[in-house]
Structure 1
Amino acid sequence: MSDTPEIRIGTAEREQALKRLSDHLAAGRLTVPEFDGRSLAVTNATTRGELDRVFTDLPETTPDTPARAEAPGTAADQNWRGVVMSLTPFLALVLFFVVPIDNSWLFFLMIPAAGAILFGTRDNRTGG
């Protein structure tokens, strides 16, 4: 908490507070509706005390401890899915020219099928 909560704040303090809120949202500590409400409170804040109240139940972030806690498997999960998806059109093209079958154009249906399999099974609204 601030030593002088009634000191007025400026645009720079509000922008810094909004960045901290964004970091907490990215770390999963806030839901989108909570973030929206707190962002509005930060935008309307005129004193340090009003800003402090927005962060009372959130941990303090320092440069040594990253504000964004990486959820298990999310970066690696996104990475391999993206690599597989980006290679799928090339695989379809190679199969189109190499495999001697009628209707070889059907190999290109692998592209949307891969997208549906790789990304269609995840529900991004719940973070899973």
Structure 2
Amino acid sequence: MTEVPSPQLRISDQERESALSALGDHMTAGRIDIDEYGDRSARITAAKTRGELGELFADLPQPHPTYGGTAVAASPPADSAPAPQPEPSTAVAAPRGWSGGQRLAASIVPLAWLVAIVLISTGVVAAWPMIALPIACTIFGRALWGRGSDDDDRDRDDRQDDRRMDHREHRLDHRDRRREMRDEFRRQRRFDR
């Protein structure tokens, strides 16, 4: 978490969308009600600077809007100590349920492609027979353990697709509601002038 670099900097549409998304997360978590969400989202759509956005999230925990890909929080109180941040893990876990043979095939295929590219580029071996080796490894590995090799994989993929579609529909509905609220706020501002 970093301080807002300059509260006078103007915000972009992407940063405004980030703020609206973070505000939606707070409403979903029950930290703010629908009326407060409407008021704050209208203020977010009208905000012009980072400082104005920071004020709207001063009383809320993470998530906060991101500015240029970096999450930014309002200034913490002077008497509070920063929370310790967990160390990021750099280890890459093997996919669940992979056997030793699957792991071996998964490591051989990229190595076969790399060796083929190196040998072809140095001119040691003719190109067409060398390309056949990694292609054969890829086809063989895919045939044995590729996606859709059993019903469980298909069911899992179908469930993931359903969740993605539900999430996408939710995001689109949420975006449309924010746009309607923004337009209503703008109409109200024009009427008040």
Q: Which has the larger radius of gyration?
A: 2
Tell me which interval the TM-score lies in, with the shorter structure as reference length: 0.3 to 0.5
| TM-score normalised by the chain length of structure 1 | 0.47
